[in-house]
Amino acid sequence: MDTVPHGGSVVAKSGLKQPYHLVDPSPWPIVGAAGAGLLLSGIVFAAHFGGPGQARIYDLPMVGGLLLVLLTMFKWWSNVLHESATPGMHSPVVRLGLRYGMTLFITSEVMFFVGFFWAFFNFAIFPEHVAGVLNPTWPPPGIHTFDPFRIPFLNTMILLLSGVTVTWAHHALIENDRKNLLFALGLTILLGMSFTTLQAVEYSEAPFKFAGGGIYPSVFFLATGFHGFHVIIGTTFLAVCWFRARAGGFTPTRHFGFEAAAWYWHFVDVVWLFLFCFIYVWGAGPPAVE
């Protein structure tokens, strides 16, 4: 049904006034689904048939799928930004729906990490579930874990500080203080990049390897690695918000894009606290010998 904006809501040509935004037909859902399917298929093909000395042709579906997903994200979110700047489209009900959507997305991300914690506790509390071990302990024999009060503790302090700076940026935005908004948001981005850099250093010094290392390296690298991936996504999210804020894309009353990024960043903070407390501290074994 064709609609025209009117008085902060949307009016159908039939004359019925209603507050919902009826989106225009878009190719991006089907393009995104195709890209995600191609990306997943490409990862499977590359894992099973690729590798050193193999033809790189197996990587093509993975690269093509990734490019399609990135294109979909860019174009779809560009459309959302355009809609948000069009009078009458993002009514109060629509904005509430966006908040519900972000809340449900973060909830799904929480359940994603619940799976990793479930696997960790399954083996940490019941080490006899680890196959092929005569005297089961956790961490398994021969695994030397990280000292939790070196790089992991420093990264914890970095993320906690970043939670403070992103809240500072949010308050500056509400007060229409553009200078402090850009400064605090820039600090948050730098802290996120610092976390990623330190985690890369930690991985390079790991006393165990993901490939062929057994159950502990698998759980450790999947849980902390996916969290690191979420930090990179969150940093990118905040960087986009910085450029939007610099261009005047937010106002004290209309800034849900920034709020969504801040919610996501706080989620990343909380997940790391659980990782630090349980995997690094509670699950620590004999440290690596220097």
Q: Are residues 121 and 245 in the same domain?
A: yes
Peptide bond into 139 cis (omega under 30): yes
Provide the pLDDT for residue 12: 46
* Bridge partner residues of 12 (DSSP): 3
Examine residue 226 and state whether it is found in any structural domain, yes or no: yes
Query: Does the model's pTM come out above 0.75?
Result: yes
- Give SS3 for 224: helix
Q: Are residues 84 and 97 in the same domain?
A: no
Which parts of the chain have pLDDT scores under 50?
1-4, 6-14
Provide the pLDDT for residue 14: 45
Question: Residues 6 or more apart from 149 whose CB is under 8 A from it?
Answer: none
Question: Residues 6 or more apart from 267 whose CB is under 8 A from it?
Answer: 106, 109, 110
Provide the pLDDT for residue 77: 85
Other beta carbons within 10 angstroms of residue 200's beta carbon come to 11
Which residue, 56, 74, 89, sits at the end of a domain?
A: 89
For residues 160 and 203, what is the distance between their CA atoms, to the nearest angstrom? Answer: 21
* Residue 135, domain extent: 91-282
Number of domains in the chain: 2
Q: Are residues 164 and 253 in the same domain?
A: yes
